[in-house]
Amino acid sequence: MLKPILKRPLSIWIVAIVGCVFGLASIRSGGSVLFIDGPFRENVGIFIPFVVWFNFLFGFVYFAAGVGLWVQRRWAVWFSLLVVIATLIVFTILVIYIVNGGTYELRTIYAMILRFVVWVLITIVGYIRIIK
């Protein structure tokens, strides 16, 4: 049975909202770069297609995890852990790409670090509040 909205811990409110917002923002920004030729794509500068595809596709996983955390489902914590692992894999591939002379924007690295740290925190909170 679902807990009433006001009886959810504040930490669940926060991680669920952050997860959903991350998801929607990732879908929007990734989709804009991948599918819309215009000012948004031009303002991005140098983008790395595999990173943008990852961000776009995983935006749906981010959103699903956020909703799952909101309703306090165990699977949402595992989705969050999947995001952490996948982000680490893509980040590793990005580093290999850069070391081999690939062009990149410094903000791509910052975005990957931010994404990783946020989802590690979301996973920890989800684990403590839902699974433990």
User: What residues does each domain of the chain span?
Assistant: 9-131
Per-residue b or e along 79-90, where b marks 16 or more CB atoms closer than 10 Å to that residue's CB: bbbebbeebeeb
Q: CA 58, CA 39: separation in Å to the nearest integer? A: 24
Contact yes or no for 128/70 (Cβ under 8 A): no
Check residue 6 and give its pLDDT: 66
Check residue 7 and give its pLDDT: 79
pLDDT class for 40, splitting at 50, 70, 90?
confident
Check residue 72 and give its pLDDT: 96
User: Taking the model in full, what pTM does it have?
Assistant: 0.91
Q: Which residues contact 31 (CB under 8 A, 6 or more apart)?
A: 56
Give me the half-sphere count of Cα atoms (radius 13 Å) on the Cβ side of residue 132.
7
Q: CA 4, CA 70: separation in Å to the nearest integer? A: 11
